[in-house]
Structure 1
């Protein structure tokens, strides 16, 4: 029992670590553009390198878990993360940045696949829902904290009298690249997590039908299914929306309102992730009284309105509206994912692997936003990409036909609708 509690804590810390590392790209985006002297189009390939790893590694990671179990995959994941972080920290160039971010993304994809079954077994199936929600809250907390840590480190490094960790990091990074300190920190965190995993005995995991990846011919069969393709695009659209907005906030506020990206920009990105986390509570409540497709439509419209205010309103309005976009994005991932799985009668494990591969959409949005912004000279026009992804998500609320609707407090909605 004691080992299982330790394993639960480990998995929750891994959720926190994944988010802490993943969501730093948005706050440092203006610095990447400036220090590497690159266009927004080229800069967009940095997050693309990270999220492309999800597209490449999500399904193979499932096969690795099946063959070698969770512990070797977790060890391999943090080796990838540590190696990628160190390479970036030691050789800060654009080409190295792309390679390093791909390695880090590979590690994060491996972690995502391995930890959910481990959490189910470690905490017990009867507690899985509770721990899953707790894990998502920690994920959101880390996304909120990561930009603030970066801002604190960067400002501290500008003080010649700084001591402790700040002074150590100052000695390791070029004075004009304080953001690089985060990758030294990521490398250290990855090594510490690696040591913990090596030392801890993890419980044996028996995969459920929903967690099993399935044979290659199943994937071939699924990719011929129109429903699978539509929901794959849906997941890509969601992650593209989330990252497209998060990566644009700081640089947009600097370009259009003259706001400091290291303070105001970073705080606004942090608030974006905080509101995305807090929005989950309202979403959970609404899903108890409304059909999930209706909730998806309401929140999609809310995100569209908030994004419009953020892009075309005043500076004060943008500082409120960008975090509100995060609030309305909060339920989209879980609703789209559940609608997708509930739209197929079987092969849920393989389908889930395909959906996770759709995370590559998070990388595709930024280069396209940058390309349009560079071509037109207007970042607002570049953000038209996010309008398109949000409209697609809105459309899911109309065409999704789940075999089982979400259970609500309305007795008439508890019936299971079988779509043939």
Structure 2
């Protein structure tokens, strides 16, 4: 197979043959927003860890609550999108995400960790619906042979969001100093009240701004016209130039199932690294940075992913995407191992450089996995988005090892993830039907 393909399309558009440039441009804003919101968790984690005096395992419940939404909401979202259409699914997803953002206001006001977890779940449920609708939409809007390149390009703007978010969060959230339990005990009632208000507003203001932007984008999507695509109108290639119409479920496609595992470990590995970066860079034997400074360095990790996706979007037009996936996975794993075996600047920059090689993994795995699914593309997208729950489970596991064997060597979890992704790029991606 010369290149990764998604469905060979037979798209019904409501724009009378007009190209899809406008639609793809508007959809790019979604990728930016959910990248921005997701990456803010990396800043929220050290802040809430200090505010509620949590250990690593406990604070990783933030990622658990956020990414568990993918496991619960993805498949129902796929069904909903098939019934109401991609555009309406996007609007509902934006509104739900906005509501979740608004709930950060009372969670911070009451200083309730449980309320934060609930707000994160609702927020992530909206993002899940956006992902289920937007990823296959972008893949299908255009030539199938450039689907992986096209999705990489839009995902690059997702990475722009993840690059900007740590700077935004460091400025508004981590710049507010968190006092120790002893310092809090010594405060007068008035000082304690003022301190609590300061901590609350550090989280409230950013998420109120996010909610406002989401509601505006939802209003824009509600009134604009986008091409209409219907899953029943999409034919699929089996990778050999013929078409397959004989499978009654996406689960029958082995390369999809293996791709779902690849998405699970990719998101789990990427989120595990990002979640620990602020605390990792704060270790005396790594960089000894203050939280606000370390938070700004997180932008290098996600910024590398952004740069890599812009570059990868062009390279994948000439090099087989599966080979790029395997190469990037091997290099990413090697960089994590280097960070685990070293200290100081080498350990710091090697872990930050992993972001560059993470870059093309999600969109490449996604397009390889839905290749040839045809009418099952919507269901396949739901399955793949469900696998994003890896971001809920693996960071908690790494948190356990960080508490037991230390944060430095707990990074062996992402190494295992990258080994599997390399396997998928070399062998597992091949369209094989059960």
TM-score (norm 2): 0.78
Report if the CA contact (8 A) 1:117-1:205 is conserved.
no
The equivalent of 1:305 in structure 2 is 334
The equivalent of 2:79 in structure 1 is 63
Question: CA offset at residue 202 of structure 1?
Answer: 2.6
Report if the CA contact (8 A) 2:322-2:429 is conserved.
no
The correspondence for 2:303, drawn from 274, 282, 286, is: 274
Report if the CA contact (8 A) 2:27-2:134 is conserved.
yes
Counterpart check, 1:112 vs 2:136: no
Q: Deviations over 1:311-370 (max 9, x none)?
A: 343332234222210111112223322332347687333223211211111111111111
The equivalent of 1:85 in structure 2 is 101
Moved more, 357-366 or 383-392: 383-392
Question: CA offset at residue 248 of structure 1?
Answer: 1.0
The aligned runs of 1:9-408 (5 Å cut-off) are 9-92=25-108, 93-116=112-135, 132-154=151-173, 174-177=197-200, 178-198=202-222, 200-203=223-226, 205-209=228-232, 221-223=249-251, 226-256=254-284, 257=286, 258-263=288-293, 265-284=294-313, 286-342=315-371, 347-376=376-405, 378-400=406-428, 402-403=430-431
Question: CA offset at residue 127 of structure 1?
Answer: 12
Unaligned runs of 5+ in 1: 159-170, 213-217, 404-417
CA distance in 1, matches of 2:165, 2:248: 39
The equivalent of 2:9 in structure 1 is none
Q: Deviations over 1:254-299 (max 9, x none)?
A: 1344211212x12221111111111124434554554444323321
Alignment CA distance shift 1:223-1:3 (3 Å)? closer
Question: CA offset at residue 54 of structure 1?
Answer: 1.4
CA distance in 2, matches of 1:27, 1:191: 23
Alignment CA distance shift 1:303-1:221 (3 Å)? same
Report if the CA contact (8 A) 2:398-2:411 is conserved.
yes
Alignment CA distance shift 1:262-1:337 (3 Å)? same
Report if the CA contact (8 A) 1:12-1:138 is conserved.
yes
CA distance in 1, matches of 2:24, 2:429: 35
Moved more, 14-23 or 99-108: 14-23
CA distance in 2, matches of 1:126, 1:219: 21
Unaligned runs of 5+ in 2: 1-14, 178-193, 236-245
Question: CA offset at residue 371 of structure 1?
Answer: 1.2
CA distance in 1, matches of 2:400, 2:83: 41
CA distance in 1, matches of 2:156, 2:399: 31
Alignment CA distance shift 1:379-1:112 (3 Å)? same
CA RMSD in angstroms comes to 3.5
Alignment CA distance shift 1:66-1:371 (3 Å)? same
Aligned residues: 385
